[in-house]
Amino acid sequence: MPGPVVAVLDYGIGNLRSAEKALQRCGARAFLTSDADDVEAADAVVLPGVGAFGRCRDALSRTGLDDVALAAIASGRPFLGICVGMQLLYDASEETPGVTGLGVLPGVVRRLPDGVKHPQMQWNRVDVLTETPLFEGLGDRPWMYFVHSFAPEGTQDVIATCDYGGPVTAAAHRHNVVATQFHPEKSGALGLALMGNFVDMARRGVVSNTTTGAGGR
């Protein structure tokens, strides 16, 4: 049986091909695209991102992929945000005051705590807080790779944190949207397993928590 079709939004920012290749290794028919029709026809959608919040938000707007992303989310299909792609899903970021995010996940992206090195550029354990298909089979504290100076504030949607001068948001889940602050495509076998879980969600067309906490409002 052919794998699910996964559209990786290509808005010209960062190494998008690493996410595409990881999804392909997990059995998805993944491809980079900036075409709205391609995205509409896909089983699931991925929004990667690296660099500054404002620059990524501007690129997303200039390509028209902000509206395409919102339409994909509204359709109920599985949607994954990665790193700055996760941050763009929130209302705003302290990194770029005055620039609004997509507002899919309520909350603000905050600078990492004082007293730790900025950026966090390292492997770190992820503390999984609630049962979710995204982390199925990965254990309670998988190692993942982080590169960031900002992270979303703690909200009801948070499903995983890491310890970096205190608890820092590592993943969130709200309805059909899942998002990771770490880079699963750069996180070795466990990161690939997480991507595989997302591909399985795309195959089944379901992204729901088994608990009523995060993502279940």
- Taking the C-alpha atoms of residue 19 and residue 23, their distance in angstroms, rounded to an integer, is 6
- Bridge partners of 176, per DSSP, are none
**Whole-number pLDDT of residue 205:** 84
Tokens, residue 68: 């395409």
**Whole-number pLDDT of residue 208:** 62
- Bridge partners of 111, per DSSP, are 150
AA identity, residue 64: G
Model confidence at 213, in pLDDT bands (50, 70, 90)?
Answer: very low
**Whole-number pLDDT of residue 207:** 64
| Fold for the domain defined by 5-204 | Rossmann fold (3.40.50)
Q: Is residue 173 annotated as part of the catalytic site, yes or no?
A: no
Over residues 106-133, the mean pLDDT reads 96
Coil, helix or strand for 44?
strand
- Bridge partners of 127, per DSSP, are 161
Q: What is the average pLDDT value for the chain, to the nearest integer?
A: 94
Instruction: Give me the catalytic one of 26, 56, 83, 162.
Output: 83
- Taking the C-alpha atoms of residue 124 and residue 166, their distance in angstroms, rounded to an integer, is 13
Spans of all domains in the chain: 5-204
In this model, does residue 140 exceed pLDDT 70?
A: yes
Instruction: Give me the catalytic one of 26, 148, 173, 183.
Output: 183
**Whole-number pLDDT of residue 14:** 75
User: What's the pLDDT tens digit per position in 1-37?
Assistant: 789 999 999 999 877 899 999 999 999 999 999 999 9
CB atoms within 10 A of CB 37: 9
In this model, does residue 99 exceed pLDDT 60?
A: yes
Mark 127-141 as b/e (b = at least 16 C-beta within 10 Å). ebbbebbbbeebeee
Full-model pTM: 0.94
**Whole-number pLDDT of residue 216:** 37
- Taking the C-alpha atoms of residue 86 and residue 62, their distance in angstroms, rounded to an integer, is 19
Q: Is residue 185 annotated as part of the catalytic site, yes or no?
A: yes
Q: Is residue 83 annotated as part of the catalytic site, yes or no?
A: yes
